[in-house]
Amino acid sequence: MTIGSEARMAGDNSSVVGPEGIVGPVAGTAVPRFAGSSTFARLPRVDEVSDYSVAVLGAPFDGGTSFRPGARFGPSAVRQASRNLRPAYHSELDVAPYRRLQVVDAGDVPCNPFSIDEALEQIDRHAAELVSDRHRLITVGGDHTVALPLLRAAARVHGPVALVHFDAHLDTWDTYFGASRTHGTIFRRAFEEGLLVEDHSIHVGIRGPLYSAQDIVDDERFGFQIIRAGDMDRLGLDGVVDRIRTRVGDAPVYLSVDIDVLDPAFAPGTGTPEMGGLSSRELLHVLRGLPGDALVAADVVEVSPAYDHAEITSLAAATVVYDVTSLMAGPGPDARTVPTTPSIS
């Protein structure tokens, strides 16, 4: 029996919530947040419940990295940082996500660190076991290469998806040193494989120099719109949200968040940092404006803990995962469990 399950059986009523017996996180008022279960947000493991709505999966693979490696340690670092969360109630979205949805930690894919192709097949198989028309998946990488098999798994269930891609980089290049499946080429492959709804996908946060001006031409040919990091100042945060929602329309949405969309001041622990990125507050504001009911799957990638300081990058990624689960839960009549803080006018 794990420490987390002992806590759930020790009379902590707040660990089993919701009218349908949903098993939530171990309560921080019963077991200190620095102790107990090591799952994401101290949620139950997938084998501890009979069914689930959302699974959080680790994909510890960084064999497709072109610059600084280390994202294979991302899933464990993000889980550790998630201890800092108080996940019972999301005050800005006014939702108690783990009262409305059964969310579980599905562990890690045992990715082959020496073969990109085999690792992608492993991720595809694990994702296929977890995804259905009533089961959604949030994956923590790993480098961005892991998004390709995740998109394949989502498209087999939902058909082509609209990709909302937060990143400093386009990730629509063709090859690196002859390798066609790397963290910078996956969305070109996704376009070629027909995984994306035509002209409904969008990049957010793009910045920095490119290999060639042709990169922008090619990206547009693949059906992407671009919101550059500098456009945040011109459009405003709500304008960016409106642009994204208009772009995806009523298509099923796959959300992909490369943590390097944040400025290195907010996320130093990543493989290819670029100056001039989003702040943590800007990223969270835009994410919270996305259509949660349209989200069918998501990933949060490129956390490389060796370059982090005081877990700030890992905490940013953990908060993004928590916000995505909260978006998927959506607001409801059972959401308000504590008073909200009055607005300051």
CB atoms within 10 A of CB 133: 8
More confident residue, 174 or 5: 174
Q: What percent of the chain has pLDDT over 90?
A: 86
Opening angle at CA 105, ends 103 and 108, nearest 5? 150
Q: At residue 196, does pLDDT exceed 70? A: yes
**CA–CA gap between residue 62 and residue 111 (Å, rounded):** 9
Question: Would you state the pLDDT for residue 129?
Answer: 97
The answer to whether residues 75 and 58 touch, using CB atoms and an 8 Å cutoff, is: yes
pLDDT confidence bin for 70, thresholds 50/70/90: very high
Question: Would you state the pLDDT for residue 331?
Answer: 73
**CA–CA gap between residue 184 and residue 202 (Å, rounded):** 16
Q: At residue 280, does pLDDT exceed 80? A: yes
**CA–CA gap between residue 317 and residue 311 (Å, rounded):** 10
Q: At residue 6, does pLDDT exceed 50? A: no
Q: At residue 11, does pLDDT exceed 70? A: no
pTM of the model: 0.91
Q: Is the dihedral of CA 36, 39, 43, 48 positive or negative?
A: negative
Question: Would you state the pLDDT for residue 25?
Answer: 94
Residue 259 tokens, joined: 């943590």
In this structure, what is the dihedral angle of CA atoms 88, 92, 93, 99, given to the nearest 10 degrees? Answer: 10
Q: Return the HEC string of the chain.
A: CCHHHHHHCCCCHHHEECCCCEECCCCCCCCCCCCCCCCHHHCCEHHHCCCCCEEEEEECCCCCCCCCCCHHHHHHHHHHHHHHCCCCCECCCCECHHHHCCEEEEEECCCCCCCHHHHHHHHHHHHHHHCECCEEEEEEECCHHHHHHHHHHHHHHHCCEEEEEECCCCCCCCCECCECCCCCCHHHHHHHCCCECCCCEEEEEECCCCCCCHHHHHHHHCCEEEEECCHHHHHCHHHHHHHHHHHHCCCCEEEEEEHHHECCCCCCCECCCCCCCECHHHHHHHHCCCCHHHEEEEEEECECHHHCCCCHHHHHHHHHHHHHHHHHHCCCCCCCCCCCCCCCC
The tens digit of pLDDT for each residue in 17-45 reads: 555 789 999 998 899 999 989 999 999 99
Question: Would you state the pLDDT for residue 29?
Answer: 87
Say which residue the tokens 């060796």 belong to: 306
The answer to whether residues 292 and 327 touch, using CB atoms and an 8 Å cutoff, is: yes
Question: Would you state the pLDDT for residue 10?
Answer: 39
**CA–CA gap between residue 240 and residue 290 (Å, rounded):** 10
Phi first, then psi, for residue 130 (nearest 5°) are -105, -20
Q: At residue 180, does pLDDT exceed 60? A: yes
Task: List b or e across 200-210, with b for residues whose CB sees 16 or more CB atoms inside 10 angstroms.
Answer: bbbbbbbbeee
pLDDT confidence bin for 244, thresholds 50/70/90: very high
Query: Cα(first)–Cα(last) distance of the chain, in Å?
Result: 51
Q: At residue 160, does pLDDT exceed 90? A: yes
More confident residue, 179 or 196: 196
CB atoms within 10 A of CB 98: 27
Question: Would you state the pLDDT for residue 169?
Answer: 97
Closest CA to 2 of 36, 46, 50: 36
Residue 167 tokens, joined: 């990143």
Q: At residue 12, does pLDDT exceed 50? A: no
**CA–CA gap between residue 343 and residue 71 (Å, rounded):** 39
Q: At residue 342, does pLDDT exceed 70? A: no
Question: Would you state the pLDDT for residue 19?
Answer: 57
pLDDT confidence bin for 230, thresholds 50/70/90: very high
